[in-house]
Amino acid sequence: TVLPVPPLSVRLAIVMQGSARNQDDLTHKLADIVKINNQLRRNEQNGAAAHVIAEDVKLLQFHVATMVDNELPGLPR
């Protein structure tokens, strides 16, 4: 499955007080997706238990769903 990633020009950094900068929420959510996807791949390659893989899949689904719509009914807050 391929997940389109918006270019950096769409995900502009947020300017904090002074000259400090921080990434926007979308960039943070994309980082969460990449992180759990890498964890899932490692666990699959290392032969992790089925319940561990299932938890990784659920967490990946959660991050993708909340990237699209953070106010979906039934999602934990």
Burial class (CB in 10 A: 0-12, 13-18, 19+), 26: middle
* Distance from C-alpha of 14 to C-alpha of 24, rounded to nearest angstrom: 6
List, run by run, the mean pLDDT of 10-residue segments along the chain (77 residues): 83 69 80 96 97 97 86 67
* Distance from C-alpha of 44 to C-alpha of 41, rounded to nearest angstrom: 5
Check: CB of residue 37 under 8 Å from CB of residue 57. no
Domains, the chain, with CATH or none: 14-68 (4.10.860.120)
- What's residue 76's pLDDT? 62
**Residue 74 in 3-state DSSP?**
coil
